[in-house]
Structure 1
Amino acid sequence: MTSRYRARLAVAAFACVAVIPLSALAADATSDAAPPAKGYDYPTQGRVEYVLGCMDEKGHDFANVYKCSCTIDRIAAVLPYDDYVEQMTFAKYATLGGEGGNEFRVDRARAQTKKYRALQQEAYQACGFGKPSPSASK
C-alpha cells in the first residue's frame, strides 16, 4: 500500500465522519450532566502536577494514576486551592536546610505542614495507598 493511497483512504474516512455542531454537544452535555461535585475547583494544571508528583513518589504504575487522581480529588473536596498551595509548599520545603529554609520552619509553617500531611495521609488511605512512604513522614 503506497503512502499516497493511505492518505486518500484517511481523507475518505475523515469525510465519512458526521460533523456535529458544538452547540448541539453543549446542549446534550448540560441536559443529562450530573450536578457538580462538592468541593473546590482546582486548575487542571495543579491537579496534573499533583498526580505527576504523587506518581514520582509512589511509582509509575498504571493503577497509581487512579489512586493519585483520587487523592487530589479528596484534598480538593475539603481544602480551597489557595490553602492547598500554601500548605503543600510548606510541606514540600519543610526539610530545606540552611538560611533559605528558615521561613519554612517557623511555627505557622510547621502547623500548615502538619495539617497538609494529615489530610494527605487520610486521602492516601481512602484511595488505596495504605501506609505512607518514608519521604511523606519527614
Structure 2
Amino acid sequence: MKILYACLFLLAAPASLAAADVNDYPTEARADYVFVCMKANGETRDALKRCSCSIDVIASLLPYDAYVAAETVASMTQAQGQIGALFRASEQAKATAAELRRAQAEAEIRCF
C-alpha cells in the first residue's frame, strides 16, 4: 500500500513548471529512452538522431517528475489484480498517461 501512496504522490506532483525552463532529465533517463527507441525503430544512425530528438521534445514539454509519474502509471496499469485496477480506473492516472502520450505524439510529429 505504501507503494501505491508513493505513486499517487508522484502523480500529484505539480507539472506547472515549464519543462523547457528546466533541463532536469538525467542523462541515464535520456540514454535509456534513446536505447529503447532505437530498438523499436532500427539500430541505425538515423534512428539515433530521431530518437534523440524525440526525448528532447518530450523533455521540453514535460518536467522530469511528470515523465517519471507517467512511466510509473504505464507500468502499473500492466499489473494484475487490485493495484493494476486502481491505476487503470484512476482519473488522475489516466490524465497523467494522456499527458505523456501528447508529448510523445508531438515528438513523433517533430522527429519522425
- Matches of 1:61 and 1:46, distance apart in 2: 20
Give the structure 2 partner of residue 97 of structure 1.
80
Read off the aligned partner of 1:40 and give its amino acid letter. Answer: V
TM-score (norm 1): 0.58
Structure 1, 74-83 or 98-107: larger mean CA deviation: 98-107
User: Is 1:86 aligned to residue 69 of structure 2?
Assistant: yes
Give the structure 2 partner of residue 40 of structure 1.
22
Report % sequence identity: 38
Contact conserved, 2:66 with 2:96, CA < 8 A, in 1?
A: no
- Matches of 1:94 and 1:59, distance apart in 2: 27
SS in 2 for 1:60: coil
Give the structure 2 partner of residue 33 of structure 1.
none
* Unaligned segments of structure 2, at least 5 residues: 1-19
- Number of corresponding residues: 91
Higher CA-based Rg? 1
Aligned residues: CA RMSD? 1.8
* Unaligned segments of structure 1, at least 5 residues: 1-37, 129-138
**Structure having the larger proportion of residues in helix:** 2
Contact conserved, 1:51 with 1:65, CA < 8 A, in 2?
A: yes
Give the structure 2 partner of residue 121 of structure 1.
105
TM-score (norm 2): 0.69
